[in-house]
């Protein structure tokens, strides 16, 4: 029961902190931070009861470490996955030779033609393991795991970033840098 509640709050936070802060009248700063007292007030007006202890619990127990709670400055933000334009201050990082992207079988033809692009998000999301990629792909349909020649891309000047919670991000992946199964 408690876990279910935490999952509901986590989903709510993902929606608000990544995609639709305005839907509850919240504003994020340029780095994606929301003021916690303001978040609690805005959420309450929309029927969602939050508190510092609850946020602490949800952030600490989150399976993917999706959020950072900065208690000292009373602010919170999502670690990745945004569609609203924020600057998370990522520094480029050299990726391993191969990274993986999980998608659904019905998108493979389009990716073959156009490569990977961020769609509604700010980045293309890549995983360090095939297993994680398969889970990501399964959210969209029958999962297909693509292998990305990350090392080669990086060598040719393509930038990669590693989010706080271990997700690899990049702006796009040309089809020529993808091994299709």
Chain residues in the site for ligand HQG (CB under 6 A): 14, 64, 66, 81, 103-104, 107, 110-111, 114, 116-117, 119-121, 125, 136, 139-140, 167
Beta carbons within 8 Å of 126's beta carbon, 6+ residues apart: 95, 99, 100, 101, 133, 148, 150, 160, 167, 168, 169, 170, 173
Q: Measured from the CB atom, is 103 or 154 closer to ligand HQG?
A: 103
**Closest distance to ligand HQG from the beta carbon of 41 (Å):** 25
Beta carbons within 8 Å of 10's beta carbon, 6+ residues apart: 58, 62, 66, 67
Q: State the residue number with the nearest CB to ligand HQG.
A: 103
Q: Measured from the CB atom, is 41 or 134 closer to ligand HQG?
A: 134
**Closest distance to ligand HQG from the beta carbon of 178 (Å):** 10
d(CA 178, CA 149): 6
User: Running DSSP on this structure, what letter comes out for residue 107?
Assistant: G
Q: Measured from the CB atom, is 75 or 123 closer to ligand HQG?
A: 123
**Closest distance to ligand HQG from the beta carbon of 172 (Å):** 8
Q: Measured from the CB atom, is 63 or 72 closer to ligand HQG?
A: 63
d(CA 61, CA 2): 11
Cβ pair 148, 173 in contact under 8 A: yes
**Closest distance to ligand HQG from the beta carbon of 123 (Å):** 9
Q: Measured from the CB atom, is 66 or 158 closer to ligand HQG?
A: 66
List C-alpha distances in Å: 144 to 46, 87, 102, 108, 152. Answer: 38, 30, 6, 8, 22
**Closest distance to ligand HQG from the beta carbon of 45 (Å):** 25
């Amino acid at each position: 029961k408690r876990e279910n509640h935490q999952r509901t709050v986590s989903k709510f936070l993902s929606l608000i902190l990544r995609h639709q802060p305005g839907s509850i009248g919240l504003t994020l700063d340029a780095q994606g931070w929301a003021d916690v007292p303001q978040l609690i007030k805005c959420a309450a007006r929309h029927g969602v009861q939050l508190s510092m202890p609850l946020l602490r619990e949800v952030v600490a127990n989150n399976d993917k470490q999706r959020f950072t709670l900065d208690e000292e400055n009373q602010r919170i933000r999502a670690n990745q996955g945004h569609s609203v334009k924020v600057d998370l201050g990522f520094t480029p990082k050299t990726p391993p030779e191969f990274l993986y992207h999980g998608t659904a079988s019905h998108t493979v033809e389009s990716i073959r033609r156009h490569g990977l692009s961020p769609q509604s998000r700010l980045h293309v999301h890549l995983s360090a393991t095939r297993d994680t990629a398969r889970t990501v792909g399964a959210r969209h349909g029958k999962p297909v795991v693509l292998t990305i020649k990350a090392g080669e891309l990086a060598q040719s000047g393509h930038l990669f970033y590693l989010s706080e919670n271990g997700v690899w991000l990049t702006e796009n992946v040309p089809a020529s840098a993808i091994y299709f199964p």
